[in-house]
Amino acid sequence: MPTIEPATNAAVDPADFISALHAEGNLPQNAGGDPAVPDSCFIDTHIYQQPTV
């Protein structure tokens, strides 16, 4: 029977990355992909200002 190697684990925990971004106030709180696109989740923790005029 051949030995099956386990899959390689990611070197970075994405949760740490997201936490760091939140701390810097740079990105919304959703996980991956294009973090700039506003997410309808988490609206309670990230409020965009609406135009007044």
Residues that bind another protein (CB under 8 A): 8, 10, 12, 14, 17, 21, 26-27, 30-41, 48-51, 53
Q: Measured between alpha carbons, how far is 47 from 50 in angstroms, rounded to an integer?
A: 9
Q: Measured between alpha carbons, how far is 46 from 43 in angstroms, rounded to an integer?
A: 5
Shortest Å, Cβ 3 to another protein: 20
Q: Measured between alpha carbons, how far is 18 from 44 in angstroms, rounded to an integer?
A: 17
Shortest Å, Cβ 5 to another protein: 14
Shortest Å, Cβ 29 to another protein: 12
